[in-house]
Copies of this chain bind each other. A is one copy, B any other.
Amino acid sequence: MTILYDERLDGTLPDVDRQALIQALRQQLPELELLDQEQQLKPYECDGLSAYRSTPMLVALPRHLDQVQRILQICHAHRVPVVARGAGTGLSGGALPLEKGLLLVMARFKEILQIDPAARCARLQPGVRNLAISQAAAPWGLYYAPDPSSQIACSIGGNVAENAGGVHCLKYGLTVHNLLKVQMLSVEGQPLTLGSEALDAPGFDLLALFTGSEGLLGVITEVTVKLLPKPQIAKVLLAAFDSVEAAGRAVADIIAAGIIPGGLEMMDNLAIRAAEDFIHAGYPVDAEAILLCELDGVEADVHDDCERVRQVLEQAGASEVRLARDEAERVRFWAGRKNAFPAVGRLSPDYYCMDGTIPRRELPGVLRGIARLADEHQLRVANVFHAGDGNMHPLILFDANQPGELERAEALGGKILELCVAVGGSITGEHGVGREKINQMCAQFNHHELTLFHAIKAAFDPSGLLNPGKNIPTLHRCAEFGAMHIHHGQLPFPELERF
């Protein structure tokens, strides 16, 4: 597969003295595992966004926090950029290494430091896997709510850095809504505590600012998360529709009816067929779209809500509404959804997963718009997404071996994100900006807003050594990228006016 790599970034970084850095690290941290051979570095060349690759200059795998502190101090003294990485499952290239930078792998910090059932919180090292938190809390009937689909592998440090979401974030919020405290090291290796175990903290809310900052502001060394009581019961309804627009309208109707589902997911026909072929979930393969609506809580409540949702779905024109008969069918319904990405992957040699967010009321129009853009770019797009919170995941199918298809897929992806911005949405719901969407940030924000972002970056990291080239584009890059700024629902370019 063709590899996308933006050489402009490393090109703008000053040269560094690799040998001097290696020598300083070896001398001052003789116990530190340090990788510097080409074949050792290769496995670290990308994160979950494998279309972007770059060999790191050096990989450090510390085991102790004082090593992390010392590494940061040494890199700072040598003016070497540092990219921190957790499990490397991120989908936007936030942990993409730099050829002129050190990759700081935090995966070995796997200890669950404390589960406090009375305060309903867990204190964790940054490398603890997302699912491991809920497993450790299970004996007390508690769990950690955010559940990105990579939850079996992704680590809490990366979840904080990317403000990860998941199927249940409609009801239970993103990572930022489930955090109490983060301990971090500044670019100079200075420890800082953000947030507190109390409900609110005085001063500026640095914890929320830091969450989702994608490694630009500091390196996470400890995370305290909230734990929630596990819902007593969960039920799922499957509704089939003759058009994606009707399904989109039904989503808005459910929310407007005052119901907050645990999850509310949508799949279009291409995704339904792919998932059904792969998983045999029992989906209606002739439907243009299906909705999966999960309701969780106490039994009586869930029962009432199921009835209300069924009525709303029927009024919204569903051709069929099915309540999963038992837990086995519920799990099967979800298995189809959770495996929709690999299922769609079987239809085509390559696919590209987008992650735009839009106001729910815009769902029908944006789905029409995506179909039109796909036609124009002569590519197929499958839609599988968190409909309840307007977080779309269009999957663009392409074949990288066909000349020009990768570039067309990229161009289509960019247009889809710009469409999201144009209707008042944003270019990312839960995957982050990373390297992938750095250009689209120029569409999302104006010059004044970007200047403010840079000022905040400088407040934490005046030397600009932490994860440069991710998340916040330089003003220069946006100028180069062209006058494509669409701000807060204004549509400057004619192509979008058709929607």
Contacts and interface: CB of A to CB of B under 8 A. Distances in A.
25 contacts: A118-B255, A165-B199, A165-B200, A176-B205, A176-B208, A186-B448, A192-B448, A196-B424, A198-B425, A198-B426, A199-B429, A202-B437, A202-B444, A203-B441, A203-B449, A204-B213, A204-B472, A206-B209, A208-B209, A209-B209, A300-B300, A452-B460, A455-B458, A456-B456, A458-B459
Contacts of A430: 200
Nearest to A213: B204
A59 interface: no
Contacts of A455: 458-460
Which residue, of A186, A200, A460, A488, has the highest number of chain B Cβ atoms within 10 A?
A200
A444 B201 CA distance: 9
A444 B203 contact: yes
A403 interface: no
Contacts of A453: 203-204
Given A119-B360, A202-B471, A452-B460, 9 more contacts: A118-B360, A197-B359, A197-B424, A199-B390, A199-B429, A200-B357, A202-B437, A209-B209, A455-B458
A428 B200 contact: yes
Interface in A328-360: 357-360
A256 B429 contact: no
A177 interface: yes
Contacts of A426: 196, 198, 200-202
Interface string A138-174: 0001100000000000000000000101000110001
Interface of A: 117-120, 141-142, 163, 165, 169-170, 174, 176-177, 186, 190, 192-193, 196-206, 208-209, 211-213, 229, 252-253, 255-256, 258-260, 297-301, 304, 357-361, 389-391, 424-430, 432-433, 437, 441, 444-445, 448-449, 452-453, 455-460, 471-472, 488
Contacts of A460: 452, 455
Contacts of A174: 199-200
A433 B202 contact: yes
Contacts of A441: 202-203
Nearest to A207: B208
A204 B216 CA distance: 10
A61 to B, nearest CB: 28
A444 B206 CA distance: 14
Which residue, of A117, A177, A193, A359, has the highest number of chain B Cβ atoms within 10 A?
A359
Closest 4 CB pairs of A and B: A208-B208, A300-B300, A455-B459, A229-B258
Contacts of A358: 198
Contacts of A196: 357, 424-426
Which residue, of A120, A174, A201, A453, has the highest number of chain B Cβ atoms within 10 A?
A201
Contacts of A361: 118-119
Contacts of A118: 252-253, 255-256, 360-361
A205 to B, nearest CB: 5
A188 to B, nearest CB: 10
Contacts of A472: 203-204
Contacts of A252: 118-119
A224 to B, nearest CB: 11
A203 B471 contact: yes
Contacts of A197: 359, 424-425
